[in-house]
Amino acid sequence: MKLDPTKMKDWQIAEAAEENLKTAGELAAELGLKEDEYSPYGRVLAKVDVRKVLKRVGEGRKGKYIDVTAITPTALGEGKTTTTLGLVEGLGKLGKKVVGCVRQPSGGPTFNIKGSAAGGGLAQVVPLSSLSLGLTGDIDAITNANNLAMVALNSRMQHERNHDDAWLAERGLKRLDIDPERIQFRWAMDFCAQGLRNIEIGKGGKLDGFDTKSGFYITVASEVMAILAMSADLADLRKRLSKIILAYSKDGRPVTTADLEVDGAMCALLVNAIQPTLMQSIEGQPVFVHAGPFANIAIGQNSVVADRLACALGDYVVTESGFASDMGYEKFWNIKCRCSGLKPDAVVLVATVRALKAHGGAPAVKAGLPLDPVYTTENLELLEKGCDNLLAHIDIIRRSGVQPVVCLNAFYTDTQAERDLVKSIAEKAGARFAVSDHWLKGGEGALELANAVIAACEEPNDFAFLCDLEEPLKDRIEKQVKEVYGGDGVDFEPVALEKLAAYQANPATVNLPVCISKKQYSLSHDPKLLGRPKGWRMPVKDILIYQGAGLIVPVAGEIKLMPGTSASPAYRRIDVDVETGKVKGLF
């Protein structure tokens, strides 16, 4: 059956492709895995035991390491995952042993506006329904581990309220004296449930828990998810889980999961989740799917474990960073690469004519509404103006010591003059350039991109971190705003300055990496400031501590850790063929 993206929806393409998928055993054999190093989940999925594989093949790096990032996106996204999969397929077409690494989609976006994160057209991870509807249970395990910590916290508060120190001591407990006004952790659910952002729990009698304000965040915003993404192995995961700060005592001491003796049980729930899931592209290349933390509150990457495994097995490894280079790539560069010990050989910067026109001043792109005609007709003036945003992202990647490969993700409405203009501007800035038509043609359409990336991998680079972790926290935050985002400086609110001083004085936190939380639709904190904004300062209203993940998180503006469901969510179009049991309507 010929797969035609112009006449078929993504879920129809994925369903048709599933008829010819390789088995998990075939994929594992192609990667050189032994039978005891993976566990099949049905016919085409498998969990891979990273510890066993790396013990056998060694920790040494084999593959060329490529990161895919993007310019500042519109509300529709610009196709990073699709480009990641297209590049994997293109390298496969050239006969390279290539492995892809992507995040697991969250149920929130899957059933809401964005849809699944499987790619699109002929550049997808398959099977789509498995990927989008729970996969091998990692997100469920993270949800349960997160919520077990909350159960332990609320239960302990109830028992300390209801009983004296002697009663506690008989049970081997010491009073923690938890302050109900300083609870840091929340419950987790992997849907966009705005009605659960702020709740009250423990209503009823004294046996019904501790009466306090609480709330939910989406599971992919949980610190437990960030920990899974950043852990080197099971031992590191166990250690990080024990450091999670759930609350503070009335005299200001942090109350951790270890204090509640729940950290071991949390880890027990995650023993299987530390193992990446082996899937494949539509064209049969292996893809590791693992972890899925938010990019605006955590690192926005698939796991360190998956990348290290892929680099030990493949000749080329393609991984992806969430959102644009100011957020996703910056966190890849300064956080993930510190954790993994890996450094990129090439960086792909994805752009679209559509997004560049938006940054040039075209009417706003809104999900679920028709595009303004300016996006589908030639307009070189808007496009050229919008390329200021492209140049800013080229400079960000270059600041890390790597010269990017600019990939123009092809849309059928792009004109040749528009493509030539973007190419001219990118190459004048010193970047390599390629047009990729992977959505329409799969690997065949990504050959130009694949060849450009191969060439880039052969060139030496001067990759180096933005800051030394010995530098003061305040200086590191300001340096990131000025040198990565292009702002004039930072304005810290009093509560942020107070916390900053405390973290700077604490040996456990003073050298943690900075992970700035901000909106994704602008280089600044303000989504209305498109293009390459100048003359702005970033307000930091709070600074969070993710001690288990090992992150200092300055918060710029309002960030919702539990998204809301739209008036026209994707779940309205998802259903099941009751005759075959196949899911339809995913995108």
Q: Is residue 99 a contact partner of residue 247, using CB atoms and an 8 Å limit?
A: no
- Tell me if 250 is assigned to some domain: yes
Mean pLDDT confidence for 444-463: 97
Mean pLDDT confidence for 293-322: 91
Q: Which of the residues 187, 294, 323, 587 is marked catalytic?
A: 323
Does 295 score more than 80 pLDDT? Answer: no
Domain end: 429, 457, 485, which one?
Answer: 457
Do residues 264 and 314 share a domain? no
Mean pLDDT confidence for 33-41: 96
Quote the tokens at residue 539: 């307000």
Mean pLDDT of the chain: 94
Q: Which domain holds residue 492?
A: 473-555
Of the pLDDT bands very low, low, confident and very high (cuts 50, 70, 90), residue 555 is very high
- Tell me if 569 is assigned to some domain: no
Do residues 317 and 448 share a domain? yes
Cα–Cα dist 273/292, whole Å: 12
| Percent of the residues in the chain that have a pLDDT greater than 70, as a whole number | 99
Do residues 356 and 232 share a domain? no
Q: Which helix (H) or strand (E) holds 158?
A: helix 138-162
CATH of the domain at 265: 3.30.1510.10
Does 100 score more than 70 pLDDT? Answer: yes
Mean pLDDT confidence for 393-412: 96
Catalytic site includes residue 84: no
**C-alpha dihedral, 443 to 326 to 521 to 185, nearest 10°:** 110
Catalytic site includes residue 114: yes
- Tell me if 44 is assigned to some domain: yes
- Alpha helices (H) along 270-334: 304-313, 330-331
Other CB atoms closer than 10 Å to residue 443's CB: what's the count?
25
Whether the ω angle into residue 127 lies within 30 degrees of 0, i.e. cis, is yes
Catalytic site includes residue 210: no
Better pLDDT: 20 or 74: 20
Q: Which of the residues 229, 295, 452, 556 is marked catalytic?
A: 295
Better pLDDT: 176 or 369: 176
pLDDT digits (tens, 9 = 90+) for 156-170: 999 999 999 999 999
- Which DSSP symbol is given to 349? E
Q: Is residue 206 a contact partner of residue 158, using CB atoms and an 8 Å limit?
A: yes
Cα–Cα dist 238/233, whole Å: 9
3-class state of residue 126 by DSSP: strand
Do residues 365 and 378 share a domain? yes
Weakest mean pLDDT among 32-36, 116-120, 236-240, 282-286: 116-120
Does 352 score more than 80 pLDDT? Answer: yes
Cα angle 219-237-128, degrees, rounded to a multiple of 5: 45
Cα–Cα dist 230/218, whole Å: 18
**Strand-strand pairing, 38-41 and 542-546:** unpaired
Q: Which of the residues 64, 93, 103, 499 is marked catalytic?
A: 103
Do residues 447 and 480 share a domain? no
Our count of domains for the chain comes to 3
- Tell me if 568 is assigned to some domain: no
Do residues 515 and 499 share a domain? yes
Q: Which of the residues 24, 64, 72, 80 is marked catalytic?
A: 80
- Tell me if 574 is assigned to some domain: no
Do residues 393 and 415 share a domain? yes
- Tell me if 388 is assigned to some domain: yes
Catalytic site includes residue 82: yes
3-class state of residue 426 by DSSP: helix
Catalytic site includes residue 226: no
| Percent of the residues in the chain that have a pLDDT greater than 90, as a whole number | 81
CATH of the domain at 481: 3.10.410.10
pTM of the model: 0.95
Mean pLDDT confidence for 426-451: 97
Of the pLDDT bands very low, low, confident and very high (cuts 50, 70, 90), residue 144 is very high
Quote the tokens at residue 344: 């990129």
Cα–Cα dist 323/484, whole Å: 14
Q: Which of the residues 51, 385, 411, 423 is marked catalytic?
A: 411
Do residues 409 and 284 share a domain? yes
Cα–Cα dist 43/6, whole Å: 30
Domain end: 269, 286, 301, which one?
Answer: 269
Q: Using the structure block, give the residue that is written with the tokens 């500042």.
A: 72
Of the pLDDT bands very low, low, confident and very high (cuts 50, 70, 90), residue 61 is low
**How much is the pLDDT for 424?**
98
Cα–Cα dist 332/310, whole Å: 16
Q: Which of the residues 288, 439, 492, 587 is marked catalytic?
A: 439
Of the pLDDT bands very low, low, confident and very high (cuts 50, 70, 90), residue 364 is confident
Q: Is residue 301 a contact partner of residue 293, using CB atoms and an 8 Å limit?
A: yes
- Tell me if 421 is assigned to some domain: yes
Cα–Cα dist 335/295, whole Å: 12
Q: Using the structure block, give the residue that is written with the tokens 């047009």.
A: 435
CATH of the domain at 392: 3.40.50.300
Q: How far, in whole angstroms, is CA 209 from its chain's centroid? A: 34
Of the pLDDT bands very low, low, confident and very high (cuts 50, 70, 90), residue 293 is confident
- Tell me if 566 is assigned to some domain: no
Cα–Cα dist 22/19, whole Å: 9
Catalytic site includes residue 452: no
Do residues 71 and 110 share a domain? yes
pLDDT digits (tens, 9 = 90+) for 201-232: 999 999 999 999 999 999 999 999 999 999 99
pLDDT digits (tens, 9 = 90+) for 498-552: 999 999 999 999 999 999 999 888 999 998 999 999 999 999 999 999 999 999 9
Domain end: 425, 457, 489, which one?
Answer: 457
Q: Using the structure block, give the residue that is written with the tokens 């992919």.
A: 220
Other CB atoms closer than 10 Å to residue 393's CB: what's the count?
25
88's CB contacts (< 8 A; 6+ apart) are 98, 99, 100, 281, 285, 287, 318
Of the pLDDT bands very low, low, confident and very high (cuts 50, 70, 90), residue 60 is low
Do residues 305 and 408 share a domain? yes
Cα–Cα dist 117/288, whole Å: 14
495's CB contacts (< 8 A; 6+ apart) are 541, 542
In terms of Cβ atoms closer than 10 Å to its own Cβ (0-12, 13-18, 19+), residue 209 is middle
Q: Which of the residues 93, 114, 156, 499 is marked catalytic?
A: 114
Do residues 92 and 196 share a domain? no
Do residues 130 and 143 share a domain? no
Of the pLDDT bands very low, low, confident and very high (cuts 50, 70, 90), residue 1 is low
Buried b (16+ CB within 10 A) or exposed e, 162-184: eeeeeebeeeebeebebbbeebb
Q: Which of the residues 82, 83, 110, 277 is marked catalytic?
A: 82
Of the pLDDT bands very low, low, confident and very high (cuts 50, 70, 90), residue 570 is confident
